[in-house]
Every structure is written in C-alpha cells, then in structure tokens.
Amino acid sequence: MRNTTLCYIEKDGCYLLLHRVKKEHDINRDKWIGVGGGFENGESPEDCLLREVREETGLTLTSYSLRGVITFVTDCQESEYMFLYTADGFSGELTDCEEGTLEWVPKSRIYDLPIWEGDRVFLRLLESSAPFFSLKLVYQGDTLRQTVLNGQDCSM
C-alpha cells in the first residue's frame, strides 16, 4: 500500500486547489484536488504533509487537523492509504507548482469543477464537520464502485 497525504487549506471561504495539468501520465490529470503527495522513507503523516505543502505551494502550515483516513482501491494502480487534512493557518507566499496551477476556489464552486467522485464524498464530510472518519473508496477505472464509511457500505 502506498501512503499519501492530502490537504485542503482554507482561507476566506475558499480552499486552495491544485488543477493537475502539468504532468504527463498523471492519474489526476485535469482534476482539481487538494495539495499533498507520497511519503518519503521514515516520514510520519505530519512530516509528509508539511513537506508536500511547502514543496507544492511555498506555504508553511501553522494550524492543521487530521480529519480522516481514506483507503483507495483501484484496478489502475497500487492501493493507497491517504491521510486527509484541513489547514486554516499558514505563513509564507504562494509559489508556482510543478504539478499544476494553484487557485483559491470558493467552497461553493468546487462541485462544479472536474473532481473525483470519491472526493465529493469526503468533501461533504469535511463540510459537515464530521468527526474523524475512515473511508474506503473502490474504483474501477474512473468509476467509483463502492463507498464504505466507518465500516458501513454506503454505495448507491
């Protein structure tokens, strides 16, 4: 299993999103997502979070919370545990990102953008201030086939 982090940085009713348009052969190509990435050897989730946010945005997080753990299962790549964070404090200046374009997007507009179907599930949990959660998302290609929240199947 791969281990990754993803963070939604909040400011003035917006999330900082990354429009993934710069990398060839990117599973997230053309999608809008939070910022984050894969663990390096010996990193904790927090180490990875802080490093990835700094590398992708130039920002240093000063206030953040672990909101949930998401298990991604897909037929396209190795399964993944993703540690999902939100952050509401940071210092520094936004820089360019090698993986795409960074933009502050009003939370009300996010669902109008091309995002993963599973992201819609956990973004709604973040919006509702749900307590810490475990979410399993099973994809076949780009299609979400199963959603399991805290051990309960929520698939439609």
Tokens at residue 57, please? 């945005």
Closest CA to 46 of 85, 93, 72: 85
CA–CA distance, 8 with 75 (Å, rounded to integer): 26
Q: Domains in the chain: how many in total?
A: 1
CA–CA distance, 144 with 150 (Å, rounded to integer): 17
CA distances from 42 to 38, 114, 156 (A): 12, 34, 39
Q: Give residue-wise pLDDT tens across range 12-42.
A: 999 999 997 666 666 766 789 999 999 999 9
Residue span of the structural domain in which 124 resides: 2-153
| pLDDT score, position 21 | 65
Domain with residue 49: its CATH number is 3.90.79.10
Q: Give residue-wise pLDDT tens across range 61-118.
A: 999 999 999 999 999 889 999 999 999 999 999 999 888 899 999 999 999 999 999 9
Tokens at residue 154, please? 């929520």
**Predicted TM-score (pTM) of this structure:** 0.93
Check whether 142 has a pLDDT greater than 90: no
> HSE-up of 39 (CA within 13 Å, CB side)?
15
